[in-house]
Structures are given as structure tokens and as C-alpha cells.
Amino acid sequence: MGGISAANSANVLGKPLQGGVALVTGGSRGIGKAIAVRLAALGAAVGICGRDEEKLMTTSRELEAAGAKALARRADVTKEADIRAFVEATEKQFGGISILVNNAGTGGGGFGAVQEKSEAEWDQVMNTNLKSVFFVSRAVIPGMIERRSGDIINISSLAGKNAFAGGGIYCASKWGLQGLAGCMAEDLRAHGIRVSVICPGSVATDFRGRGPKDPSKVLTPEDVAHAVGMVVTQGPQSFISEVHLRPVAKP
């Protein structure tokens, strides 16, 4: 019987992403942190960014304590210079980015009737939930094209598929993300790059949405992280374009 190659050995040991480099925005807490932990457990080196430096450092230490390679950097995803610096630092430390998870998002002042909202509230939500995906993806894609491979996973929401009262700005940002991601998938598939969208329902995090959540009737951050792990470990000939993720118990 022949020997097991290094790549196959990594798979046998449950590390299918060994040698890969993942970048996760909004990775210091909640869904982003769970995604970073999951990708690290699958073998990837992980770069995370966020605006809360203390939480970033805590998450980075937890990843390293679990044996992962991790880099944490404070960055505002709505500022292109911050994004460029974060991408460059990650690539300098770990090499080319093979997985990008656009997770950073906010509800901010996005909930309420449109006529009650301000331009500042519109800008806050749209810049964080949509413009940031443009910035980060644009910074990472050229390297993926050069290597002719990569996964880009955009964390959207079921609010990107369904309208509800008071959701005008937030839904607009997520519907926009759905359209952006779909077009990116068509632009990039010829380069060997897979673009996917994950649309969770309500998740038990400190995200401030439409009101209190019953913990027994919502998703956990780990549920979303599991979906990301599923997407990035697909066989090389296919990709999952969109995942709708709902709790078993109906809210």
C-alpha cells in the first residue's frame, strides 16, 4: 500500500484547509469569531479584523492557545486604507489569502420606517454592510485571480430575501449584497474563484436587531460557522452559491 501524501494526511487528520489562509472581517466576536475558530480548526491560518482591539486580542490569544496561526488587526472596514493594510499584513505573515469571509455588519440605525431615518443612519448601514464588501473583495481578488483559486463567502441575511416593516435600510443593504455577490460569482468563476452567500435567520449574538430573541428559537454563531465550513470544503468541481439557514424551532 502506498504512503499517504502530506495533503491527504491533513485530510485524514481533519485538517482539509491545512496550508490555507483565511481572512474574516468582524472576527473578534459573535458570528465572525465562531467562523474564525471553525476555519482554524479545519487547518487554516486566520487573519481577523474589527474595531474593538481588546476583543480582537482576546480572540487571537484563544485561537493561538488552540494551536492555530492567527493575526488580529484593528481595522474599520468602511475605510479602504485600513483594509489594504489588513490584507497586506495577513499576506506578509501567512501568504496569499485563499478564503475571504465578508462577515462585518451592523443594524445600527437601520431599523425603523424610512421616513424616520437620517442620511447618517443610511450611510452607516450601507457602508458597513455593502461598501465594505466591495473594498475587501477588491483588495483580495487580484491575488486569487493570480493563483486561480479562492473562496469568497459573504454573510448576508434572510432579510436579504424578505421584506418586513421597519427594515428598509437594513434590507436594502442585504438585498444589495445578494446582487453584488451573485455578479461577483459570475465574474470570477472563470478564474477558479467560488463566491457564495450565507443567509442566516436570527442569531443569538449581541447584534441589535428588531428586538429581544428567544434563545431556544434562534441560530447560534456556531451554526453559521458550520455552514461556512461546509461551503469551503466542497469538492473542487462545484460550489454552493447560496445557503438559507433557519432554526429548527419556528420563531
CATH no. for residue 85? Answer: 3.40.50.720
Q: What residues are labeled active site?
A: 170
Domain-located, residue 6: no
Task: Indicate the residue type of 48.
Answer: I
pLDDT of residue 79: 97
Task: Indicate the residue type of 154.
Answer: N
pLDDT of residue 215: 81
Domain-located, residue 14: no
Domain-located, residue 184: yes
Q: Tell me the DSSP string of 195-231.
A: EEEEEE--BSSS---SS---GGGSB-HHHHHHHHHHH
Domain-located, residue 222: yes
143 to each of 70, 125, 138, 155, 216, how far by Cα in Å? 20, 28, 10, 21, 42
Can you tell me whether residue 79 is helix, strand or coil?
coil
Domain-located, residue 5: no
Q: How many domains does the chain have?
A: 1
pLDDT of residue 217: 87
pLDDT of residue 206: 65
Domain-located, residue 28: yes
8 Å CB contact between 83 and 134: no
Domain-located, residue 67: yes
- Rounded distance between C-alpha atoms, residue 106 and residue 104, angstroms: 7
pLDDT of residue 25: 98
Helix (H) or strand (E) holding 70: strand 70-74
Q: Which residue has the cell 470570477?
A: 188
Q: Which residue has the cell 463567502?
A: 153
For each of the chain's 251 residues, which pLDDT tens digit applies?
A: 333 334 444 454 579 999 999 999 999 999 999 999 999 999 999 999 999 999 999 999 999 999 999 999 999 999 999 999 999 999 999 999 999 999 999 987 779 999 999 999 999 999 999 999 999 999 999 999 999 999 999 999 999 999 999 999 999 999 999 999 999 999 999 999 999 999 999 998 765 455 556 888 899 999 999 999 999 999 999 999 999 999 998 87
| 51 burial type by CB count under 10 A (0-12 exposed, 13-18 middle, 19+ buried) | middle
8 Å CB contact between 16 and 44: no
**Phi, psi at 141, each rounded to 5°:** -60, -40
Range of the domain at 119: 19-245
- Residues 62-92 as b/e (b if ≥16 CB within 10 A, e otherwise) read ebeeeebebbbbbbbbbebebbebbbebbbe
Residues listed for the chain: 251
Can you tell me whether residue 114 is helix, strand or coil?
helix
Domain-located, residue 250: no
- Rounded distance between C-alpha atoms, residue 173 and residue 125, angstroms: 7
pLDDT of residue 66: 93
pTM assigned to the model = 0.92
